[in-house]
């Protein structure tokens, strides 16, 4: 923590982690992808 202060940096005020990058769903799990259209 002292090194961050010495560099003039601080920890995040909004949250500790960034959102993960989007990852394509392939194969048998493709239908579980966020925003996937349900097969009829």
Q: Is residue 9 part of a domain?
A: yes
d(CA 10, CA 1): 8
38 within a domain of the structure (yes/no): no
Q: What is the pLDDT of residue 34?
A: 80
- Say what the pLDDT of residue 5 is: 77
Residue 39 lies inside a defined structural domain of this protein: no
Does any domain span residue 11?
Answer: yes
* Cα 1 from Cα 9, distance rounded (Å): 9
Give the residue numbers spanning the domain of 18.
2-32
The confidence score (pLDDT) of residue 7 equals 80
The model's pLDDT over 1-40, given as tens digits with 9 standing for 90+, comes to 677 778 877 766 776 677 778 888 889 988 888 876 665 5
pLDDT at 6: 81
Residue 25: per-residue pLDDT = 86
Total count of domains within the chain: 1
Instruction: Tell me whether residue 13 is in a domain.
Output: yes
């Amino acid at each position: 923590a002292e090194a961050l202060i010495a560099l003039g940096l601080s920890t995040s005020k909004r949250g500790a982690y960034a959102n993960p990058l989007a990852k394509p769903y392939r194969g048998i799990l493709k239908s579980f992808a966020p925003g996937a259209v349900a097969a009829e």
